[in-house]
Amino acid sequence: MHSTTTKSQERGGVIERYREFLPVSPSTPVISLGEGNTPLIYSPRLSERVGRGCEVFVKNEGVNPTGSFKDRGMTVAVSKAVERGTRILICASTGNTSASAAAYAARAGISCVVILPAGKIATGKLLQAFAYGAKIVAIEGNFDDALRIVRELGKTGDFAIVNSINPDRIAGQKTAAFEIVDELGDAPDFHLLPVGNAGNITAYWTGYSECRAQESSTKLPAMVGFQATGAAPIFHDRVIEKPETIASAIRIGNPASWKQARAAIAESHGSIDVVNDDAILAAQQWLAQHEGILVEPASAAPIAGFFKWCDSDDAARSFQKIRENCRIVCTVTGHGLKDPDVIIGRMKELKPIAATLKDVRRAIEL
Ligand code: F0G
Q: Over the stretch 304-327, which tens digit does the pLDDT of each residue have?
A: 999 999 998 765 578 998 999 999
pLDDT at 4: 52
119: left (phi over 0), alpha (psi -120 to 50) or beta: left
Q: Is residue 100 within 6 Å of ligand 1 at its C-beta?
A: no
Q: Which residues are 125's β-sheet partners?
A: none
To test ligand 1's pocket by mutation, which of 197, 204, 252 has the most ligand atoms within 8 angstroms of CB? 197
The stretches of 42-158 forming alpha helices (DSSP H) are 44-50, 70-83, 96-108, 123-131, 143-154
Cβ proximity of 279 and 304 under 8 Å: yes
Q: Is residue 144 within 6 Å of ligand 1 at its C-beta?
A: no
| Amino acid residing at 191 | H
Query: Residue 256: helix, strand or coil by DSSP?
Result: coil
Atom of ligand 1 nearest to the CA of 91: 19
Q: Is residue 334 within 6 Å of ligand 1 at its C-beta?
A: yes
Question: Which residue from 166, 157, 162 is spatially nearest to 134, judged by alpha carbons?
Answer: 162
Q: 306: which residues sit within 8 A by CB, 6+ positions away?
A: 46, 49, 50, 56, 192, 283, 319, 328, 330
pLDDT at 11: 67
Cβ proximity of 68 and 99 under 8 Å: yes
pLDDT at 276: 97
- Mean pLDDT, to the nearest integer, of 138-150? 98
Q: What is the pLDDT of residues 277-296, one digit of tens each?
A: 999 999 999 999 999 999 99
pLDDT at 3: 53
Say if residue 5's pLDDT is above 50.
no
pLDDT at 10: 54
Q: Is residue 336 within 6 Å of ligand 1 at its C-beta?
A: no
Q: What is the pLDDT of residues 54-83, one digit of tens each?
A: 999 999 999 999 999 999 999 999 999 999
Cα radius of gyration rounded to whole Å, the chain: 21
Cα 357 to middle of ligand 1, angstroms: 47
Question: Measuring from atom 11 of ligand 1, which residue has the nearest CA?
Answer: 196
Q: How far apart are CA 29 and CA 225, in angstroms?
A: 34
Per-state percent for the chain, helix, strand, coil, to nearest 5? 45, 15, 40
Q: Which residues are 224's β-sheet partners?
A: 192, 271
To test ligand 1's pocket by mutation, which of 142, 250, 332 has the most ligand atoms within 8 angstroms of CB? 250
pLDDT at 50: 96
Residue 105 binned pLDDT confidence (cut-offs 50, 70, 90): very high
Say if residue 114's pLDDT is above 60.
yes
Query: Residue 274: helix, strand or coil by DSSP?
Result: strand
Cβ proximity of 33 and 65 under 8 Å: yes
Cβ proximity of 195 and 228 under 8 Å: no
pLDDT at 161: 98
Over the chain, what is the mean pLDDT? 95
Cα 70 to middle of ligand 1, angstroms: 8
Q: Is residue 200 within 6 Å of ligand 1 at its C-beta?
A: yes
Question: Measuring from atom 6 of ligand 1, which residue has the nearest CA?
Answer: 249
pTM of the model: 0.96
Say if residue 346's pLDDT is above 90.
no
The helices-and-strands tally (H runs, E runs) of the chain is 15, 10
Cα 245 to middle of ligand 1, angstroms: 13
Q: Which of 30-39, 232-241, 304-313 has the lowest mean pLDDT?
A: 304-313
What does each C-alpha distance from 187 to 71, 91, 120, 147, 270 come to in angstroms?
22, 32, 36, 33, 14
Q: Is residue 225 within 6 Å of ligand 1 at its C-beta?
A: no
Say if residue 7's pLDDT is above 50.
no
Q: How far apart are CA 351 and CA 93, in angstroms?
A: 37
Residue 150 binned pLDDT confidence (cut-offs 50, 70, 90): very high
How would you write 195-254 as a 3-class SS string?
CCCCHHHHHHHHHHHHHHHCCCCCCCCEEEEEEECCECHHHHCCCCCCCCCCCHHHCCCC
pLDDT at 9: 47
pLDDT at 1: 56
Q: Is residue 195 within 6 Å of ligand 1 at its C-beta?
A: yes
